[in-house]
């Protein structure tokens, strides 16, 4: 049966392949410590009780028909106030678009600001930019970032391509690394975009747009501060479209309430596009989120709680890897800064397993750790990095604190078996 060339060329998720191996082990009765999922176990991390109560209340009030195409007005007003209060960002309700989570919004940004064969620049590892670029039939310029920069792109890495790009897609805090932009780096990148756009607009050309995904911005730890391009360089506001929502900060990935905000002309066209797709967040969830975001005490208490829980788990894993490194094992980790992810390294190429297999690829390392240590993690090549990268994402959204010590006992035993 013949199908479209677009669908034929679409690649499946590498994470799903790993999930298949995890499922086989679980089916055999094996206990697996699955740290692959960029999500929360709702038995460990529940959504805010107040938000749940509000959602139920609005369903009981029969708020089950179509929402407004760009999102319920009360939610857009609530988001506008939330952004102003928490980030000192000034966006009106007409510059905000609500959707069923962040994914439709990212897709809509690509479709709205890019023509076929336009060029997107994005760093790797990063989440799904390759898929959105492919679906929009765009060209890609890919920046392979470096561990010494916490896998965040620098102005020096982007500068050589600035004349050739139409969209730059950035994310901070970053999935999969759990690291963030520092103020100076984001300032330099933002100023570079503004300078290039002044020249383009004088020539009557389409500007570079910046997609800034900050879905994890409320989950930063210790001294780490979240920065955004518009606060640092106000002139970039006309070219920046933000992606945000409740999915991560409130453990509400299944509630499906996300929002974009940016120049109204772009938001209006994104609204028109998504109205044909029907990617709305459910009306009851929208109304509940609007009320919840306005209740600062509930929000602050929940954020404090979830950040403490995530931070404790991230530090448990980080300290565990540092102990293994101090014992001479070829592992490492980057200090966690944000989100629910830890960046870890297993430098195990050419090591020999007990079955006399030489580990030749990162995929084989991933499988070895799963089979011997019962630890499931995601290699950075699943996020667009090179196949030879020996760095991995470990997610703590499903981890139980009391199990972390057991994970490291199993991990050390597995590493000791290698020669």
Q: What is the pLDDT of residues 172-199, one digit of tens each?
A: 999 999 999 999 999 999 999 999 999 9
Euclidean distance between CA atoms 71 and 95, whole angstroms: 11
Residue 314's pLDDT is what?
98
What pLDDT is recorded for position 15? 78
Beta partners for 209? 167
The pLDDT score that the predictor gives to residue 385 is 95
Higher pLDDT, 22 or 385: 385
Name the band, by pLDDT with cuts 50, 70 and 90, for residue 159: very high
Q: Give CA–CA dist 259/281, Å, rounded.
A: 10
Distance CA 247, CA 228 (A): 19
The single residue listed with the structure tokens 């106030």 is 81
pLDDT band at 318 (very low <50, low <70, confident <90, very high): very high
Helix, strand, coil percentages for the chain (3-state, nearest 5): 45, 15, 40
| Strand-strand pairing, 96-99 and 139-144 | unpaired
Class for domain 5-45+301-416, per CATH? alpha beta
pLDDT exceeds 80 at position 384: yes
What CA–CA distance (Å, rounded) separates 161 from 167? 11
Q: Mean pLDDT throughout 18-40?
A: 88
Does residue 353 contact residue 418 with C-beta atoms inside 8 Å?
Answer: yes
Q: What percent of the chain has pLDDT over 70?
A: 100
Ranges in the chain annotated CATH 3.90.1150.10: 5-45+301-416
pLDDT at 402 (0 to 100): 96
* Cα–Cα distance measured from residue 77 to residue 281, given in angstroms and rounded to the nearest whole number: 16
CATH number of 49-295: 3.40.640.10
Residue 295, pLDDT above cutoff 80: yes
Q: Provide the pLDDT for residue 23.
A: 81
| pLDDT above 80 for 1 | no
Q: What is d(CA 159, CA 261) in angstroms, rounded to the nearest whole number?
A: 26
φ and ψ at residue 373, rounded to 5 degrees: -105, -5
* pLDDT (tens digit per residue) in 50-85: 999 999 999 999 999 999 999 999 999 999 999 999
pLDDT for residue 19 is more than 90 = no
Cβ distance 180 to 228 under 8 Å? no
**pLDDT beyond 90 at 91:** yes
Outline which parts of the chain fall under CATH 3.40.640.10: 49-295
Q: Which helix (H) or strand (E) holds 176?
A: none
**For residue 364, which of 353, 329, 374 has the smallest C-alpha distance?**
353
Give the pLDDT score at 16.
75
Per-residue burial over 230-259, b = 16 or more CB atoms within 10 Å of its CB, e = otherwise: bbbbeebbbbbbbbbbbbbbbbbbebbbbb
Is the distance from CB of 153 to CB of 189 less than 8 angstroms? yes
- For residue 20, the model assigns a pLDDT of 78
User: Phi and psi at residue 335, in whole multiples of 5°?
Assistant: -55, 130
Q: Specify burial of residue 139 (Cβ count, 10 A radius: 0-12, 13-18, 19+).
A: middle
In this prediction the pTM is 0.96
Asked if residues 29 and 392 have their Cβ atoms less than 8 Å apart, the reply is no
- Is residue 321 a contact partner of residue 332, using CB atoms and an 8 Å limit? yes
Give the whole-angstrom CA distance, residue 200 versus residue 194.
10
pLDDT in tens, 326-365: 999 999 999 999 999 999 999 999 999 999 999 999 999 9
- Average pLDDT score over the chain: 96
Q: Quote the pLDDT of residue 22.
A: 85
């Amino acid at each position: 049966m013949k199908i479209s060339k677009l669908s034929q060329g679409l690649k499946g998720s590498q994470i799903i392949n790993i999930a298949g191996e995890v499922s086989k082990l679980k089916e055999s009765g094996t206990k697996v410590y699955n740290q692959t999922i960029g999500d929360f176990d709702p038995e460990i991390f529940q959504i805010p009780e107040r938000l749940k109560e509000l959602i139920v209340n609005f369903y009981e009030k029969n708020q089950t028909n179509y929402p407004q195409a760009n999102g319920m007005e009360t939610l857009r007003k609530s988001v506008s106030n939330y952004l102003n209060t928490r980030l000192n960002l000034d966006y009106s309700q007409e510059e905000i678009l609500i959707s069923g989570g962040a994914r439709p919004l990212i897709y809509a940004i690509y479709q709205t600001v890019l023509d076929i064969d336009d060029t997107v620049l994005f760093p790797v590892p990063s989440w799904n930019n390759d898929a959105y670029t492919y679906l929009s039939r765009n060209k890609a310029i890919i920046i392979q970032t470096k561990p010494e920069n916490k896998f965040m792109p620098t102005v020096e890495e982007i500068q050589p391509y600035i004349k050739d790009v139409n969209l730059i897609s950035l994310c901070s805090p970053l999935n999969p690394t759990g690291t963030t932009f520092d103020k100076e780096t984001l300032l330099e990148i933002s100023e570079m975009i503004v300078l290039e756009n002044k020249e383009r607009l004088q020539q009557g050309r389409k500007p570079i747009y910046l997609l800034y995904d900050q879905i994890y911005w409320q989950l930063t730890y210790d001294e780490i501060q979240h920065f955004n391009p518009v606060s640092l360089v106000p002139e970039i506001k006309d070219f920046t479209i933000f992606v945000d929502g409740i999915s991560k900060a409130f453990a509400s990935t299944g509630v499906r309430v996300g929002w974009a905000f940016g120049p109204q002309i772009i938001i209006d066209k994104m609204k028109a596009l998504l109205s044909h797709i029907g990617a709305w967040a459910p009306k009851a969830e929208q109304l509940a989120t609007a009320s919840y975001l306005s209740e600062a005490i509930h929000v602050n208490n929940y954020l404090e709680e979830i950040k403490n829980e995530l931070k404790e788990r991230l530090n448990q894993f980080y300290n565990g890897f540092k102990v293994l490194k101090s014992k001479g094992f070829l592992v490492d980790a980057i200090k966690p800064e944000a989100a629910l992810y830890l960046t870890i390294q297993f430098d195990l190429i050419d090591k020999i397993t007990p079955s006399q297999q030489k580990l030749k690829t990162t995929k084989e390392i991933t499988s070895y750790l799963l089979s011997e240590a019962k630890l499931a993690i995601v290699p950075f090549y699943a996020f667009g990095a090179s196949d030879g990268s020996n760095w991995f994402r470990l997610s703590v959204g499903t981890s139980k604190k009391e199990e972390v010590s057991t994970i490291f006992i199993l991990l050390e035993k597995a590493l000791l078996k290698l020669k």
